[in-house]
Structure 1
Protein backbone atom coordinates (compact mmCIF):
# COMPACT_ATOMS: atom_id res chain seq x y z
CA UNK A 1 0.00 0.00 0.00
CA UNK A 2 1.65 3.23 -1.17
CA UNK A 3 0.90 6.32 0.90
CA UNK A 4 1.16 8.52 -2.19
CA UNK A 5 -2.00 6.87 -3.62
CA UNK A 6 -4.03 6.90 -0.40
CA UNK A 7 -6.39 9.81 0.35
CA UNK A 8 -5.36 12.20 3.10
CA UNK A 9 -8.01 13.84 5.21
CA UNK A 10 -8.43 16.11 8.19
CA UNK A 11 -11.22 13.97 9.66
CA UNK A 12 -12.33 11.11 7.40
CA UNK A 13 -13.99 12.54 4.28
CA UNK A 14 -13.13 16.13 5.25
CA UNK A 15 -10.32 18.26 3.88
CA UNK A 16 -11.01 21.53 5.71
CA UNK A 17 -7.82 22.51 7.57
CA UNK A 18 -9.27 25.56 9.30
CA UNK A 19 -9.32 23.78 12.66
CA UNK A 20 -5.80 22.35 12.59
CA UNK A 21 -4.72 24.81 15.29
CA UNK A 22 -5.11 23.36 18.81
CA UNK A 23 -7.57 20.79 17.46
CA UNK A 24 -9.51 18.21 19.49
CA UNK A 25 -12.44 16.04 18.38
CA UNK A 26 -14.21 12.97 19.76
CA UNK A 27 -17.08 10.95 18.31
CA UNK A 28 -18.50 7.46 18.56
CA UNK A 29 -17.48 4.87 15.99
CA UNK A 30 -21.13 4.73 14.90
CA UNK A 31 -21.29 8.46 14.09
CA UNK A 32 -19.04 8.31 11.03
CA UNK A 33 -19.05 4.60 10.18
CA UNK A 34 -22.73 3.64 10.23
CA UNK A 35 -23.77 6.03 7.40
CA UNK A 36 -20.90 4.58 5.32
CA UNK A 37 -21.92 0.95 5.79
CA UNK A 38 -19.49 0.51 8.69
CA UNK A 39 -16.56 0.74 6.27
CA UNK A 40 -13.83 3.39 6.01
CA UNK A 41 -11.47 3.04 3.04
CA UNK A 42 -7.71 3.20 3.57
CA UNK A 43 -6.64 6.77 4.30
CA UNK A 44 -4.35 8.86 6.47
CA UNK A 45 -4.50 12.12 8.42
CA UNK A 46 -1.78 14.66 7.74
CA UNK A 47 -1.85 16.42 11.11
CA UNK A 48 -3.91 14.29 13.48
CA UNK A 49 -3.11 11.65 16.05
CA UNK A 50 -6.02 9.26 16.53
CA UNK A 51 -6.97 6.83 19.28
CA UNK A 52 -9.78 4.39 18.48
CA UNK A 53 -11.21 2.12 21.16
CA UNK A 54 -13.76 -0.61 20.49
CA UNK A 55 -15.96 -1.34 23.51
CA UNK A 56 -18.39 -3.77 21.83
CA UNK A 57 -18.44 -5.53 18.48
CA UNK A 58 -15.22 -5.77 16.50
CA UNK A 59 -13.29 -4.22 13.66
CA UNK A 60 -10.83 -5.23 10.97
CA UNK A 61 -7.89 -2.86 10.60
CA UNK A 62 -6.11 -2.69 7.24
CA UNK A 63 -2.69 -1.05 7.04
CA UNK A 64 0.76 -1.58 5.54
CA UNK A 65 1.19 -4.80 7.53
CA UNK A 66 -2.02 -6.39 6.19
CA UNK A 67 -5.31 -7.02 7.99
CA UNK A 68 -5.84 -7.52 11.71
CA UNK A 69 -8.96 -8.32 13.71
CA UNK A 70 -9.45 -5.83 16.52
CA UNK A 71 -11.38 -7.22 19.48
CA UNK A 72 -13.28 -5.25 22.12
CA UNK A 73 -11.26 -3.38 24.76
CA UNK A 74 -8.41 -2.82 22.30
CA UNK A 75 -7.10 0.67 21.55
CA UNK A 76 -5.52 1.46 18.19
CA UNK A 77 -3.17 4.44 18.25
CA UNK A 78 -2.52 5.98 14.82
CA UNK A 79 0.13 8.71 14.36
CA UNK A 80 -0.22 11.38 11.64
CA UNK A 81 0.47 10.17 8.11
CA UNK A 82 -0.04 6.48 8.91
CA UNK A 83 -2.36 4.59 6.56
CA UNK A 84 -5.35 2.79 8.03
CA UNK A 85 -8.74 1.51 6.87
CA UNK A 86 -11.58 -0.02 8.87
CA UNK A 87 -14.38 -2.56 8.51
CA UNK A 88 -16.63 -2.76 11.57
CA UNK A 89 -19.32 -5.27 12.39
CA UNK A 90 -22.73 -3.54 12.44
CA UNK A 91 -23.54 -1.79 15.71
CA UNK A 92 -19.91 -1.76 16.86
CA UNK A 93 -19.55 0.57 19.83
CA UNK A 94 -16.58 2.67 20.84
CA UNK A 95 -14.90 6.02 20.40
CA UNK A 96 -12.50 7.82 18.09
CA UNK A 97 -10.41 10.67 19.51
CA UNK A 98 -8.51 12.96 17.12
CA UNK A 99 -6.08 15.69 18.15
CA UNK A 100 -3.10 17.68 16.94
CA UNK A 101 0.24 17.47 18.73
CA UNK A 102 0.05 21.17 19.67
CA UNK A 103 -3.25 20.54 21.48
CA UNK A 104 -1.62 17.98 23.73
CA UNK A 105 1.48 20.13 24.24
CA UNK A 106 -0.58 22.82 25.96
CA UNK A 107 0.37 21.51 29.43
CA UNK A 108 3.57 20.30 31.10
CA UNK A 109 2.25 16.73 31.44
CA UNK A 110 1.08 16.88 27.84
CA UNK A 111 4.52 17.88 26.62
CA UNK A 112 5.98 14.81 28.31
CA UNK A 113 3.41 12.66 26.51
CA UNK A 114 4.21 14.33 23.19
CA UNK A 115 7.81 13.19 23.64
CA UNK A 116 6.56 9.65 24.27
CA UNK A 117 4.27 9.74 21.25
CA UNK A 118 7.15 11.08 19.17
CA UNK A 119 8.91 7.75 19.63
CA UNK A 120 6.12 5.61 18.24
CA UNK A 121 7.32 5.67 14.65
CA UNK A 122 5.21 5.40 11.51
CA UNK A 123 2.84 2.51 12.19
CA UNK A 124 -0.43 1.73 13.95
CA UNK A 125 -0.02 0.48 17.52
CA UNK A 126 -2.36 -1.78 19.45
CA UNK A 127 -2.73 -1.28 23.19
CA UNK A 128 -4.70 -3.67 25.41
CA UNK A 129 -5.08 -1.94 28.79
CA UNK A 130 -5.37 -3.87 32.03
CA UNK A 131 -8.76 -4.23 33.72
CA UNK A 132 -8.42 -1.23 36.03
CA UNK A 133 -6.94 0.99 33.34
CA UNK A 134 -9.60 -0.16 30.86
CA UNK A 135 -12.41 0.98 33.15
CA UNK A 136 -10.77 4.36 33.71
CA UNK A 137 -10.11 4.86 30.00
CA UNK A 138 -13.74 4.03 29.19
CA UNK A 139 -14.89 6.54 31.79
CA UNK A 140 -12.61 9.28 30.42
CA UNK A 141 -13.85 8.62 26.89
CA UNK A 142 -17.48 8.66 27.95
CA UNK A 143 -17.04 11.93 29.87
CA UNK A 144 -15.29 13.61 26.94
CA UNK A 145 -17.85 12.36 24.42
CA UNK A 146 -20.77 13.59 26.52
CA UNK A 147 -19.21 17.02 27.02
CA UNK A 148 -18.35 17.28 23.33
CA UNK A 149 -21.80 16.13 22.19
CA UNK A 150 -23.44 18.71 24.47
CA UNK A 151 -21.50 21.48 22.76
CA UNK A 152 -19.10 22.12 25.64
CA UNK A 153 -16.07 22.09 23.40
CA UNK A 154 -13.76 24.17 25.52
CA UNK A 155 -10.17 23.07 25.01
CA UNK A 156 -9.29 23.38 28.69
CA UNK A 157 -12.05 20.92 29.65
CA UNK A 158 -10.69 18.09 27.53
CA UNK A 159 -6.93 18.58 27.81
CA UNK A 160 -6.48 17.15 31.35
CA UNK A 161 -8.76 14.20 30.56
CA UNK A 162 -6.85 13.57 27.34
CA UNK A 163 -3.57 13.66 29.24
CA UNK A 164 -4.91 11.12 31.75
CA UNK A 165 -6.26 8.95 28.95
CA UNK A 166 -2.94 8.76 27.12
CA UNK A 167 -1.00 8.25 30.34
CA UNK A 168 -3.22 5.25 31.08
CA UNK A 169 -2.92 3.96 27.53
CA UNK A 170 0.86 4.07 27.44
CA UNK A 171 1.57 3.19 31.06
CA UNK A 172 4.82 1.24 31.08
CA UNK A 173 5.20 1.36 27.31
CA UNK A 174 8.69 2.87 27.43
CA UNK A 175 9.99 0.35 29.94
CA UNK A 176 8.23 -2.67 28.42
CA UNK A 177 9.23 -1.86 24.88
CA UNK A 178 5.68 -2.61 23.73
CA UNK A 179 5.67 0.17 21.16
CA UNK A 180 8.84 -0.09 19.15
CA UNK A 181 9.61 2.92 17.00
CA UNK A 182 9.83 2.23 13.30
CA UNK A 183 13.40 2.13 11.98
CA UNK A 184 14.86 5.08 10.15
CA UNK A 185 13.36 8.50 9.96
CA UNK A 186 10.71 9.63 12.42
CA UNK A 187 8.70 12.69 11.52
CA UNK A 188 7.89 13.01 15.18
CA UNK A 189 11.52 13.16 16.21
CA UNK A 190 11.90 16.06 13.78
CA UNK A 191 8.86 17.75 15.31
CA UNK A 192 10.24 17.21 18.81
CA UNK A 193 13.53 18.84 17.78
CA UNK A 194 11.68 21.74 16.19
CA UNK A 195 9.60 22.17 19.35
CA UNK A 196 12.82 22.51 21.32
CA UNK A 197 14.83 24.75 19.00
CA UNK A 198 12.45 26.71 16.75
CA UNK A 199 13.12 30.04 18.46
CA UNK A 200 16.82 29.93 17.67
CA UNK A 201 17.29 27.39 14.86
CA UNK A 202 15.28 27.88 11.68
CA UNK A 203 17.26 26.10 8.99
CA UNK A 204 16.60 22.55 7.77
CA UNK A 205 20.37 22.01 7.82
CA UNK A 206 20.44 22.20 11.62
CA UNK A 207 17.71 19.60 12.09
CA UNK A 208 19.05 17.30 9.39
CA UNK A 209 22.44 17.39 11.10
CA UNK A 210 20.88 16.61 14.49
CA UNK A 211 19.09 13.65 12.94
CA UNK A 212 22.15 12.42 11.03
CA UNK A 213 20.67 12.66 7.55
CA UNK A 214 20.96 14.84 4.44
CA UNK A 215 18.54 17.74 4.06
CA UNK A 216 17.16 16.14 0.89
CA UNK A 217 16.07 13.06 2.82
CA UNK A 218 14.52 15.16 5.58
CA UNK A 219 12.56 17.08 2.96
CA UNK A 220 11.51 13.87 1.25
CA UNK A 221 10.02 12.43 4.42
CA UNK A 222 8.38 15.71 5.40
CA UNK A 223 6.69 15.85 2.01
CA UNK A 224 5.66 12.21 2.21
CA UNK A 225 3.85 12.55 5.53
CA UNK A 226 2.77 16.22 5.61
CA UNK A 227 2.97 17.63 2.07
CA UNK A 228 5.31 20.28 3.50
CA UNK A 229 9.05 20.85 3.21
CA UNK A 230 11.23 20.91 6.31
CA UNK A 231 11.55 24.70 6.05
CA UNK A 232 7.77 25.07 5.81
CA UNK A 233 7.34 22.79 8.82
CA UNK A 234 9.71 24.94 10.87
CA UNK A 235 7.83 28.09 9.87
CA UNK A 236 4.54 26.35 10.69
CA UNK A 237 5.81 25.75 14.22
CA UNK A 238 6.78 29.41 14.63
CA UNK A 239 3.38 30.57 13.41
CA UNK A 240 1.68 28.00 15.64
CA UNK A 241 3.45 29.41 18.70
CA UNK A 242 2.47 32.90 17.61
CA UNK A 243 -1.17 31.80 17.33
CA UNK A 244 -0.99 30.20 20.75
CA UNK A 245 0.36 33.31 22.42
CA UNK A 246 -2.05 35.58 20.58
CA UNK A 247 -5.02 33.41 21.55
CA UNK A 248 -4.12 32.55 25.14
CA UNK A 249 -2.03 35.45 26.45
CA UNK A 250 -2.35 39.21 26.70
CA UNK A 251 1.22 39.91 25.60
CA UNK A 252 1.58 42.76 23.11
CA UNK A 253 2.28 41.66 19.55
CA UNK A 254 5.75 43.20 19.75
CA UNK A 255 6.68 41.09 22.80
CA UNK A 256 5.45 37.95 21.09
CA UNK A 257 7.61 38.82 18.09
CA UNK A 258 10.71 39.25 20.27
CA UNK A 259 9.96 36.02 22.16
CA UNK A 260 9.86 34.16 18.85
CA UNK A 261 13.26 35.49 17.83
CA UNK A 262 12.20 38.33 15.53
CA UNK A 263 14.23 41.53 15.83
CA UNK A 264 11.58 43.54 13.99
CA UNK A 265 7.90 43.21 15.04
CA UNK A 266 6.82 44.60 11.67
CA UNK A 267 8.64 41.78 9.89
CA UNK A 268 6.99 39.28 12.25
CA UNK A 269 3.59 40.72 11.32
CA UNK A 270 4.38 40.35 7.61
CA UNK A 271 5.44 36.73 8.08
CA UNK A 272 2.29 36.00 10.09
CA UNK A 273 0.01 37.66 7.52
CA UNK A 274 1.69 35.83 4.63
CA UNK A 275 1.08 32.48 6.33
CA UNK A 276 -2.43 33.08 7.72
CA UNK A 277 -3.94 35.78 5.53
CA UNK A 278 -4.56 38.10 8.49
CA UNK A 279 -2.58 40.31 10.84
CA UNK A 280 -1.64 39.11 14.35
CA UNK A 281 -4.12 41.56 15.89
CA UNK A 282 -6.94 40.44 13.59
CA UNK A 283 -6.23 36.82 14.52
CA UNK A 284 -6.29 37.71 18.23
CA UNK A 285 -9.56 39.61 17.88
CA UNK A 286 -11.19 36.69 16.08
CA UNK A 287 -10.09 34.22 18.78
CA UNK A 288 -11.43 36.46 21.55
CA UNK A 289 -14.77 37.07 19.81
Structure 2
Protein backbone atom coordinates (compact mmCIF):
# COMPACT_ATOMS: atom_id res chain seq x y z
CA UNK A 1 0.00 0.00 0.00
CA UNK A 2 1.36 3.49 -0.81
CA UNK A 3 2.76 5.41 2.14
CA UNK A 4 0.84 8.17 3.89
CA UNK A 5 1.88 11.76 3.29
CA UNK A 6 0.63 14.39 5.77
CA UNK A 7 -2.07 12.02 6.91
CA UNK A 8 -3.30 11.33 3.39
CA UNK A 9 -2.77 8.25 1.28
CA UNK A 10 -0.07 8.96 -1.27
CA UNK A 11 -0.85 8.31 -4.91
CA UNK A 12 1.02 5.44 -6.54
CA UNK A 13 3.83 6.47 -8.88
CA UNK A 14 4.02 3.85 -11.61
CA UNK A 15 6.24 3.34 -14.62
CA UNK A 16 3.38 1.39 -16.17
CA UNK A 17 0.23 0.78 -14.15
CA UNK A 18 0.87 -2.12 -11.82
CA UNK A 19 4.66 -1.94 -12.19
CA UNK A 20 6.66 0.13 -9.70
CA UNK A 21 8.49 3.12 -11.20
CA UNK A 22 11.90 1.83 -10.05
CA UNK A 23 11.37 -1.38 -12.01
CA UNK A 24 11.43 0.27 -15.41
CA UNK A 25 13.68 2.62 -17.35
CA UNK A 26 12.44 5.65 -19.27
CA UNK A 27 14.61 5.27 -22.37
CA UNK A 28 11.92 3.27 -24.13
CA UNK A 29 8.89 3.83 -26.31
CA UNK A 30 6.42 1.28 -24.96
CA UNK A 31 3.33 0.17 -26.87
CA UNK A 32 0.48 -2.13 -25.95
CA UNK A 33 -3.20 -2.65 -26.66
CA UNK A 34 -5.39 -1.11 -23.99
CA UNK A 35 -7.23 -4.34 -23.00
CA UNK A 36 -3.98 -6.23 -22.37
CA UNK A 37 -3.33 -4.25 -19.18
CA UNK A 38 -6.79 -2.87 -18.33
CA UNK A 39 -8.38 -6.35 -18.29
CA UNK A 40 -5.97 -7.45 -15.56
CA UNK A 41 -7.50 -4.82 -13.26
CA UNK A 42 -11.15 -5.34 -14.17
CA UNK A 43 -10.94 -2.36 -16.58
CA UNK A 44 -10.75 0.00 -13.56
CA UNK A 45 -7.44 1.86 -13.27
CA UNK A 46 -7.17 3.67 -9.94
CA UNK A 47 -5.76 7.24 -9.74
CA UNK A 48 -1.97 7.30 -10.08
CA UNK A 49 0.74 9.23 -11.90
CA UNK A 50 3.91 8.63 -13.88
CA UNK A 51 6.76 10.77 -12.63
CA UNK A 52 8.60 11.02 -15.97
CA UNK A 53 6.36 9.43 -18.60
CA UNK A 54 3.78 10.76 -21.02
CA UNK A 55 1.03 8.49 -22.34
CA UNK A 56 -0.98 8.75 -25.55
CA UNK A 57 -4.11 6.63 -25.83
CA UNK A 58 -6.01 6.02 -29.07
CA UNK A 59 -9.48 4.59 -28.37
CA UNK A 60 -10.65 2.70 -31.43
CA UNK A 61 -13.62 0.85 -29.90
CA UNK A 62 -15.80 1.23 -26.84
CA UNK A 63 -15.24 4.02 -24.36
CA UNK A 64 -15.28 4.89 -20.70
CA UNK A 65 -14.48 7.67 -18.28
CA UNK A 66 -11.23 9.26 -17.18
CA UNK A 67 -10.24 11.72 -14.48
CA UNK A 68 -7.13 13.80 -15.15
CA UNK A 69 -5.93 16.20 -12.47
CA UNK A 70 -9.41 16.33 -10.99
CA UNK A 71 -11.31 16.90 -14.24
CA UNK A 72 -13.62 14.13 -15.41
CA UNK A 73 -14.22 13.31 -19.07
CA UNK A 74 -16.47 10.70 -20.64
CA UNK A 75 -15.10 9.42 -23.92
CA UNK A 76 -16.07 7.08 -26.73
CA UNK A 77 -14.31 5.82 -29.83
CA UNK A 78 -12.73 7.18 -31.86
CA UNK A 79 -10.76 9.60 -29.68
CA UNK A 80 -7.29 10.47 -28.43
CA UNK A 81 -6.19 11.01 -24.83
CA UNK A 82 -3.03 12.86 -23.79
CA UNK A 83 -1.73 12.18 -20.26
CA UNK A 84 1.40 14.26 -19.51
CA UNK A 85 3.96 13.23 -16.90
CA UNK A 86 2.89 13.83 -13.27
CA UNK A 87 -0.78 14.24 -14.24
CA UNK A 88 -2.89 12.29 -11.75
CA UNK A 89 -5.23 10.10 -13.76
CA UNK A 90 -7.48 7.05 -13.55
CA UNK A 91 -9.83 5.19 -15.89
CA UNK A 92 -13.13 3.35 -15.88
CA UNK A 93 -13.06 1.54 -19.21
CA UNK A 94 -16.02 -0.23 -20.74
CA UNK A 95 -15.32 -3.93 -21.10
CA UNK A 96 -15.54 -3.67 -24.91
CA UNK A 97 -12.77 -1.06 -25.06
CA UNK A 98 -9.97 -1.43 -27.58
CA UNK A 99 -7.16 0.73 -28.85
CA UNK A 100 -3.52 1.59 -28.32
CA UNK A 101 -1.45 3.20 -25.57
CA UNK A 102 2.06 4.55 -26.11
CA UNK A 103 4.26 5.45 -23.14
CA UNK A 104 7.58 7.27 -23.36
CA UNK A 105 9.80 9.78 -21.55
CA UNK A 106 8.33 13.27 -21.40
CA UNK A 107 11.80 14.87 -21.19
CA UNK A 108 12.94 13.27 -24.46
CA UNK A 109 9.79 14.35 -26.27
CA UNK A 110 10.15 17.90 -24.96
CA UNK A 111 13.82 18.06 -25.98
CA UNK A 112 12.98 17.17 -29.58
CA UNK A 113 9.96 19.49 -29.63
CA UNK A 114 12.00 22.44 -28.33
CA UNK A 115 14.38 22.07 -31.27
CA UNK A 116 12.03 21.05 -34.08
CA UNK A 117 8.61 22.44 -33.19
CA UNK A 118 8.29 24.53 -29.98
CA UNK A 119 4.52 24.86 -30.52
CA UNK A 120 4.22 21.15 -29.73
CA UNK A 121 5.27 21.79 -26.11
CA UNK A 122 1.76 23.00 -25.27
CA UNK A 123 0.30 19.76 -26.64
CA UNK A 124 2.84 17.65 -24.74
CA UNK A 125 2.18 19.41 -21.43
CA UNK A 126 -1.63 19.73 -21.58
CA UNK A 127 -4.00 16.90 -20.60
CA UNK A 128 -6.60 16.40 -23.29
CA UNK A 129 -9.43 14.20 -24.51
CA UNK A 130 -9.91 14.80 -28.24
CA UNK A 131 -12.87 13.29 -30.08
CA UNK A 132 -12.30 12.34 -33.71
CA UNK A 133 -15.29 13.10 -35.88
CA UNK A 134 -15.73 10.25 -38.37
CA UNK A 135 -15.11 9.99 -41.20
CA UNK A 136 -11.68 11.62 -40.63
CA UNK A 137 -8.59 11.20 -42.76
CA UNK A 138 -6.54 11.46 -39.57
CA UNK A 139 -7.87 8.12 -38.28
CA UNK A 140 -5.93 6.19 -40.93
CA UNK A 141 -2.83 8.30 -40.20
CA UNK A 142 -3.17 7.63 -36.49
CA UNK A 143 -3.64 3.91 -36.98
CA UNK A 144 -0.56 3.74 -39.19
CA UNK A 145 1.57 5.60 -36.62
CA UNK A 146 0.43 3.55 -33.63
CA UNK A 147 0.95 0.33 -35.60
CA UNK A 148 4.45 1.46 -36.61
CA UNK A 149 5.34 2.27 -33.01
CA UNK A 150 4.02 -1.14 -32.00
CA UNK A 151 6.20 -2.88 -34.59
CA UNK A 152 9.30 -1.04 -33.37
CA UNK A 153 8.50 -1.96 -29.77
CA UNK A 154 7.97 -5.64 -30.57
CA UNK A 155 11.09 -6.22 -32.66
CA UNK A 156 14.29 -4.99 -30.95
CA UNK A 157 16.77 -3.68 -33.47
CA UNK A 158 19.53 -1.12 -33.54
CA UNK A 159 18.26 2.46 -33.04
CA UNK A 160 14.92 1.10 -31.87
CA UNK A 161 14.43 3.90 -29.32
CA UNK A 162 15.36 6.61 -31.84
CA UNK A 163 12.87 5.25 -34.36
CA UNK A 164 10.15 4.99 -31.72
CA UNK A 165 10.83 8.53 -30.53
CA UNK A 166 10.67 9.90 -34.08
CA UNK A 167 7.36 8.13 -34.69
CA UNK A 168 5.99 9.49 -31.41
CA UNK A 169 6.89 13.04 -32.48
CA UNK A 170 5.04 12.42 -35.76
CA UNK A 171 2.11 11.14 -33.71
CA UNK A 172 2.12 14.30 -31.59
CA UNK A 173 1.96 16.39 -34.78
CA UNK A 174 -1.26 14.56 -35.62
CA UNK A 175 -2.51 15.18 -32.07
CA UNK A 176 -1.72 18.90 -32.42
CA UNK A 177 -3.58 19.10 -35.73
CA UNK A 178 -6.58 17.35 -34.23
CA UNK A 179 -6.48 19.67 -31.21
CA UNK A 180 -6.57 22.70 -33.51
CA UNK A 181 -9.56 21.25 -35.38
CA UNK A 182 -11.41 20.74 -32.11
CA UNK A 183 -10.62 24.29 -30.97
CA UNK A 184 -11.80 25.74 -34.28
CA UNK A 185 -15.06 23.80 -34.05
CA UNK A 186 -15.63 25.04 -30.49
CA UNK A 187 -14.68 28.66 -31.26
CA UNK A 188 -15.66 29.80 -34.79
CA UNK A 189 -14.35 33.34 -34.19
CA UNK A 190 -10.94 31.97 -33.26
CA UNK A 191 -11.09 29.66 -36.27
CA UNK A 192 -11.56 32.67 -38.56
CA UNK A 193 -8.53 34.36 -37.00
CA UNK A 194 -6.39 31.24 -37.42
CA UNK A 195 -7.49 30.95 -41.07
CA UNK A 196 -6.49 34.57 -41.71
CA UNK A 197 -3.10 34.06 -40.08
CA UNK A 198 -2.46 31.01 -42.26
CA UNK A 199 -3.59 32.95 -45.34
CA UNK A 200 -1.14 35.74 -44.50
CA UNK A 201 1.67 33.23 -44.03
CA UNK A 202 0.92 31.73 -47.44
CA UNK A 203 0.96 35.17 -49.05
CA UNK A 204 4.27 35.98 -47.37
CA UNK A 205 5.79 32.81 -48.84
CA UNK A 206 4.38 33.60 -52.29
CA UNK A 207 5.33 37.30 -52.34
CA UNK A 208 8.49 37.52 -50.23
CA UNK A 209 10.53 38.33 -53.36
CA UNK A 210 8.34 41.17 -54.59
CA UNK A 211 8.47 43.78 -51.77
CA UNK A 212 4.74 44.49 -51.75
CA UNK A 213 3.24 46.98 -49.24
CA UNK A 214 0.91 46.08 -46.37
CA UNK A 215 -2.09 47.37 -48.33
CA UNK A 216 -1.44 44.84 -51.09
CA UNK A 217 -1.46 41.92 -48.64
CA UNK A 218 -4.57 43.28 -46.91
CA UNK A 219 -6.41 43.64 -50.23
CA UNK A 220 -5.58 40.03 -51.15
CA UNK A 221 -7.08 38.96 -47.81
CA UNK A 222 -10.19 41.14 -48.13
CA UNK A 223 -9.43 43.20 -45.02
CA UNK A 224 -8.04 46.67 -44.30
CA UNK A 225 -4.37 47.43 -43.66
CA UNK A 226 -5.29 48.33 -40.07
CA UNK A 227 -7.02 44.99 -39.57
CA UNK A 228 -3.99 43.15 -40.93
CA UNK A 229 -1.67 45.00 -38.55
CA UNK A 230 -3.94 44.18 -35.59
CA UNK A 231 -4.01 40.54 -36.70
CA UNK A 232 -0.20 40.43 -36.85
CA UNK A 233 0.19 42.00 -33.44
CA UNK A 234 -2.22 39.45 -31.97
CA UNK A 235 -0.65 36.44 -33.72
CA UNK A 236 3.06 37.38 -33.86
CA UNK A 237 3.50 40.34 -31.51
CA UNK A 238 4.78 42.54 -34.37
CA UNK A 239 3.25 44.82 -37.01
CA UNK A 240 2.38 43.70 -40.54
CA UNK A 241 5.32 45.58 -42.08
CA UNK A 242 7.68 43.96 -39.58
CA UNK A 243 6.32 40.53 -40.54
CA UNK A 244 6.86 41.32 -44.24
CA UNK A 245 10.40 42.53 -43.57
CA UNK A 246 11.27 39.49 -41.46
CA UNK A 247 10.11 37.14 -44.20
CA UNK A 248 12.21 39.07 -46.73
CA UNK A 249 15.25 38.83 -44.45
CA UNK A 250 14.69 35.08 -44.03
CA UNK A 251 14.74 34.70 -47.81
CA UNK A 252 17.77 36.96 -48.12
CA UNK A 253 19.69 34.87 -45.59
CA UNK A 254 18.80 31.71 -47.46
CA UNK A 255 20.09 33.13 -50.75
CA UNK A 256 23.23 34.56 -49.18
CA UNK A 257 24.04 31.34 -47.40
CA UNK A 258 23.16 28.74 -50.02
CA UNK A 259 23.28 30.37 -53.48
CA UNK A 260 26.10 31.68 -55.65
CA UNK A 261 24.15 34.81 -56.61
CA UNK A 262 25.98 38.10 -56.27
CA UNK A 263 24.65 40.68 -53.79
CA UNK A 264 23.32 42.68 -56.74
CA UNK A 265 21.50 39.64 -58.09
CA UNK A 266 20.00 38.85 -54.69
CA UNK A 267 18.82 42.45 -54.29
CA UNK A 268 17.11 42.25 -57.68
CA UNK A 269 15.72 38.78 -56.90
CA UNK A 270 14.07 40.13 -53.74
CA UNK A 271 12.51 43.16 -55.41
CA UNK A 272 14.85 45.88 -54.10
CA UNK A 273 15.47 48.85 -56.38
CA UNK A 274 19.25 48.66 -56.04
CA UNK A 275 22.08 46.89 -54.24
CA UNK A 276 22.80 49.81 -51.89
CA UNK A 277 19.22 50.01 -50.65
CA UNK A 278 19.17 46.25 -50.06
CA UNK A 279 22.45 46.50 -48.14
CA UNK A 280 21.08 49.23 -45.84
CA UNK A 281 17.88 47.26 -45.27
CA UNK A 282 19.75 44.04 -44.46
CA UNK A 283 22.16 45.75 -42.08
CA UNK A 284 19.31 47.53 -40.25
CA UNK A 285 17.53 44.20 -39.73
CA UNK A 286 20.53 42.02 -38.85
CA UNK A 287 23.38 44.29 -37.80
CA UNK A 288 25.56 42.88 -40.61
CA UNK A 289 26.27 43.82 -44.21
CA UNK A 290 25.17 41.15 -46.72
CA UNK A 291 28.82 40.37 -47.50
CA UNK A 292 29.61 39.97 -43.79
CA UNK A 293 26.68 37.62 -43.30
CA UNK A 294 27.70 35.53 -46.32
CA UNK A 295 31.29 35.18 -45.06
CA UNK A 296 30.01 34.24 -41.61
CA UNK A 297 27.72 31.55 -43.01
CA UNK A 298 30.36 30.16 -45.36
CA UNK A 299 32.75 29.83 -42.42
CA UNK A 300 30.13 28.08 -40.34
CA UNK A 301 29.35 25.63 -43.14
CA UNK A 302 33.04 24.79 -43.60
CA UNK A 303 33.44 24.08 -39.88
CA UNK A 304 30.39 21.82 -39.81
CA UNK A 305 31.74 19.53 -42.55
Structure 1 match to 2:146 = 141
CA drift of 1:36 comes to 1.1
The alignment's TM-score, normalised by the length of structure 1, stands at: 0.52
Which residues of 2 match residues 130-209 of structure 1 at below 5 A?
A: 131-152=136-157, 154-171=160-177, 173=179
- Work out which of the two has the higher radius of gyration on C-alpha atoms and give 1 or 2: 2
Matched, 1:91 2:96: yes
Give distance in 1, aligned partners of 2:125 and 2:164: 26
Alignment partner of 2:35 out of 23, 27, 30: 30
CA contact (8 A) 2:58 2:78 kept: yes
Matched, 1:119 2:125: no
Structure 2: gaps of 5 or more residues: 185-305
Change (3 A) 1:117 1:106: closer
Deviations 1:142-194 (A, max 9, x none): 1221332344581122122212111011027579868xxxxxxxxxxxxxxxx
Deviations 1:176-220 (A, max 9, x none): 868xxxxxxxxxxxxxxxxxxxxxxxxxxxxxxxxxxxxxxxxxx
CA contact (8 A) 1:22 1:102 kept: no
The alignment's TM-score, normalised by the length of structure 2, stands at: 0.50
Aligned residues: 175
CA contact (8 A) 1:81 1:122 kept: no
Per mean C-alpha deviation after superposition, the further-off stretch among 64-73 and 147-156 is 147-156
CA contact (8 A) 1:21 1:102 kept: no
Change (3 A) 1:26 1:6: same
Secondary structure at the aligned position of 1:148 is classed as: helix
Computed over aligned residues only, the root mean square deviation of the Cα atoms, in angstroms, reads: 3.1
Give distance in 2, aligned partners of 1:10 and 1:39: 17
Secondary structure at the aligned position of 2:22 is classed as: coil
Structure 1: gaps of 5 or more residues: 179-289
Give distance in 1, aligned partners of 2:163 and 2:43: 30
Q: Relative contact order (alpha carbons < 8 A, sep ≥ 6): 1 or 2 greater?
A: 1
Q: Relative to total residues, which structure has the larger helix share, 1 or 2? A: 2
CA drift of 1:50 comes to 0.9
CA contact (8 A) 1:82 1:123 kept: no
CA drift of 1:73 comes to 1.5
CA contact (8 A) 1:75 1:128 kept: yes
CA drift of 1:86 comes to 0.6
Structure 2 match to 1:250 = none
Give distance in 2, aligned partners of 1:122 and 1:140: 21
Structure 1 match to 2:18 = 13
CA contact (8 A) 1:58 1:72 kept: yes
CA contact (8 A) 2:28 2:104 kept: yes
Give distance in 1, aligned partners of 2:179 and 2:121: 13
CA contact (8 A) 2:84 2:106 kept: no
CA contact (8 A) 1:23 1:103 kept: no
Secondary structure at the aligned position of 2:140 is classed as: helix
Structure 2 match to 1:59 = 64
Secondary structure at the aligned position of 1:155 is classed as: helix
